[in-house]
């Protein structure tokens, strides 16, 4: 029988089950990466491909500026720190997300305050305001699985309370909210090019987008040792010696040229191949599962909130389906169908939060009293009941662009068979 890890993992995990591997790279890329390596211009500051990738990504998103970086967690860290959020501040974030959505807040020295989601897997705007305290400085929203958050009410709350909004688009390349692409609605958008994502820049990678010029310069500086990047870039244009001027504390989160080259080739085929196939396969799932007895909900996709289909989460109907999600997944796995349950509905249950395992013996920021509200870090008493309830009913299928329609059909046939055998 297939191992659970094989089912959850992409790469050769799905290949072992007889499905084409994801990721598979654009064949046009290999020679370009080789040439880049042979050129010796392999870092952001020696080559030109990093800046080219940033320009093309910004244009594709419809954002003013893009700042490449090492991974999605770094992108979030850059975004939060560059919006001047830090020690003493609180940021509201859904508990139901990959841990990096909230850890990046802690990395910036601030405190995450966890918000529940709706049954559509994304933050519930009606539950945000109750979490605002005098320390609240921002909201991180997560377009989980590619499902667009309901941004209008979130932006209205942010405006009313003077909060910054960061969109975590790690799982959402090209989702559209009322005509705007994911990442361009809040103050800053953050993407991950990790192995499992819509596409990868060779295993790791990240990108920040913003349309505010000052924020973009701040992000570039924070990504790069706190350099005065503006001066540095002008010096580069003038071919003068690069100065080392450190305007602020920063990190080294720069992407390599090889990663940027891979990203450029993946971006080139994104709309016409990658996203086109995801949408084609989502339509097959929609048609097969809409109205099917035992299913309560399919991924939200409306003209105003267009899904980017990273994964395809299905909410089982516990009134009709006898199986819990974990039991359903075991049966799919036994039939060699790649699938996954919910990975992380309640971040506050993690030891790092419940036992305040922050930085150093001071357990910063959780137990540094001048920076923390005791009530805000009382994670042991946190509760996000809707997110928690989704654990027992959510089964995700995949729609990797390397698959063919017959692979999607196999997932549909087995899913339907299991459901028909397990109705109440």
The reply to whether 170 sits near ligand PLP by the rule CB under 6 A is yes
C-beta of 222: minimal distance to ligand PLP in Å?
16
Between 29 and 100, name the residue whose CB sits nearer to ligand PLP.
100
Question: Mask 171-210, x = binds ligand PLP (CB under 6 A)?
Answer: x--------------------x-x-----------x----
In the list 78, 80, 100, 419, the residue contacting ligand PLP (rule: CB under 6 A) is 100
Q: Which CA distances in Å does 152 have to 23, 93, 149, 159, 332? A: 34, 17, 9, 11, 38
The CB-of-297 to ligand PLP minimum distance in angstroms stands at 20
Among the candidate windows 95-103, 156-164, 280-288, 366-374, which touches ligand PLP by CB under 6 A?
95-103
Helix (H) or strand (E) holding 209: strand 206-210
Residue at token pair 């109205």: 291
Binding span for ligand PLP by CB under 6 A among 167-175, 254-262, 278-286, 330-338: 167-175
- Which residue of the chain is nearest ligand PLP when measured via CB? 72
Q: Which stretch binds ligand PLP (CB under 6 A): 11-19, 32-40, 94-102, 113-121?
A: 94-102
- 412 sits near ligand PLP (criterion: CB under 6 A): no
Handedness of CA 22, 140, 299, 210 (dihedral sign): negative
> Which residues within the stretch 206-235 sit at the binding site for ligand PLP (CB under 6 A)?
206
Part in contact with ligand PLP (CB under 6 A); list of ranges 31-39, 52-60, 93-101, 333-341: 93-101
* CB-based contacts of 321-325 (< 8 A; 24+ apart in sequence): 321/294, 321/295, 321/419, 321/422, 321/423, 321/424, 322/422, 322/423, 322/424, 323/418, 323/422, 324/392, 324/393, 325/391, 325/392, 325/393, 325/394, 325/395
Q: Which of 17, 63, 139, 142 binds ligand PLP (CB under 6 A)?
A: 142
Q: List 395's β-bridge partners, or say none.
A: 314
To the nearest 10°, the Cα dihedral for 206, 209, 215, 217? 60
* Cβ at position 99, least distance to ligand PLP in Å: 8
Judged by beta carbon, residue 101 or residue 372, the one nearer ligand PLP is: 101
**Residue 95 binds ligand PLP (CB under 6 A):** no
- Residues 54-73 interacting with ligand PLP (rule: CB under 6 A): 71-73
Per CB under 6 A, which region of 25-33, 86-94, 164-172, 258-266 contacts ligand PLP? 164-172
Length of the chain: 424
Task: Output 191 or 379, the one with its CB closest to ligand PLP.
Answer: 191
Q: Which is nearer to ligand PLP, 121 or 277 (CB)?
A: 121
Which residue, among 193, 178, 185, has the nearest Cα to 209 in the 3D structure? 185
Which secondary structure element, helix H or strand E, spans residue 316, and what is its range? strand 311-316
> Applying CB under 6 A, does 266 fall inside the site for ligand PLP?
no
Pairs from 364-368 (Cβ < 8 Å, separation ≥ 24): 364/87, 364/109, 365/87, 365/106, 365/109, 365/110, 365/111, 366/111, 368/87
Strand partners, 398: 311
327 backbone dihedrals φ, ψ, rounded to 5°: -70, -40
Beta bridge partners of 11: 22
CA dist 329 and 393 (Å) reads 10
Residues in the interface with ligand PLP (CB under 6 A) total 14
Torsion angles phi and psi, residue 144, rounded to 5: -65, 140
List, as one string, the DSSP characters of 352-384: HHHTT--BTTTTBTTT-GGG--TGGG-GGG---
- 22 within 8 A of 10, measured Cβ to Cβ: yes
Minimum Å distance from CB 93 to ligand PLP? 10
Among 44, 65, 98, 222, binds ligand PLP (CB under 6 A): 98
Work out whether 97 is an interface residue with ligand PLP (CB under 6 A): yes
Binding mask 101-120 for ligand PLP (x = CB under 6 A): x-------------------
Stretch that binds ligand PLP, among 97-105, 258-266, 281-289, 408-416 (CB under 6 A): 97-105
Which residue ranges make up the site for ligand PLP (CB under 6 A)?
A: 71-73, 97-98, 100-101, 142, 168, 170-171, 192, 194, 206
């Amino acid at each position: 029988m297939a191992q659970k890890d094989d089912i959850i993992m992409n790469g050769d995990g799905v290949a072992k089950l007889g499905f084409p591997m994801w990721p598979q790279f654009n064949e046009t890329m290999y020679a370009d990466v080789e040439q880049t390596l042979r050129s010796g211009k392999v870092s952001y500051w020696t080559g030109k491909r990093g800046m080219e990738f940033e320009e093309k990504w910004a244009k594709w998103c419809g954002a003013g500026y893009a700042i490449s970086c090492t991974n999605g967690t770094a992108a979030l860290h850059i975004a939060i720190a560059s919006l001047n959020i830090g020690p003493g501040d609180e940021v509201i974030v859904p508990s139901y997300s990959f841990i990096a959505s909230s850890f990046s807040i802690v990395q910036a020295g601030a405190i995450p305050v966890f918000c529940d989601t709706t049954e559509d897997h994304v933050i519930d705007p009606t539950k945000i305001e109750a979490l605002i305290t005098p320390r609240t400085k921002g909201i991180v929203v997560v377009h989980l699985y590619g499902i667009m958050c309901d941004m209008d009410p979130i932006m209205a709350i942010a405006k009313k309370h003077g909060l910054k909004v960061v969109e975590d688009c790690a799982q959402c390349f090209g989702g559209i909210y009322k005509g705007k692409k994911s990442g361009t609605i809040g103050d800053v958008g953050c993407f991950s090019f990790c192995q499992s994502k819509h596409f990868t820049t060779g295993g790791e990678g990240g990108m920040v987008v913003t349309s505010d010029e000052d924020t973009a310069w701040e992000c570039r500086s924070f990504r790069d040792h706190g350099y005065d990047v503006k001066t540095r870039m002008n010096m580069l244009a003038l071919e003068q010696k690069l100065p080392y001027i450190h305007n602020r504390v920063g990190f080294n989160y720069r992407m390599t040229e090889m990663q940027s080259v891979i990203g450029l080739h993946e971006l080139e085929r994104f709309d016409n191949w990658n996203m086109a196939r995801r949408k084609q396969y989502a339509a097959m799932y929609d048609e097969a599962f809409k109205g099917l007895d035992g299913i309560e909900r399919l991924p939200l996709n409306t003209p105003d909130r267009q899904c980017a289909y990273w994964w395809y989460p299905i909410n089982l109907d516990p009134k009709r389906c006898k199986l819990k999600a974990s039991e359903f997944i075991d049966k799919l796995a036994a039939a060699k169908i790649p699938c996954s349950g919910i990975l992380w509905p309640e971040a506050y249950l993690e030891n790092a939060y419940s036992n305040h395992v922050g930085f150093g013996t001071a357990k910063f920021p959780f137990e540094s009293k001048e920076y923390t509200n005791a009530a805000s870090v009382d994670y042991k008493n946190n509760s996000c009941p809707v997110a928690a309830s989704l654990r027992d009913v959510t089964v995700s299928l995949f729609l990797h662009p390397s698959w063919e329609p017959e692979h999607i059909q196999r997932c549909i046939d087995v899913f339907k068979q299991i459901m028909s055998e397990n109705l109440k």
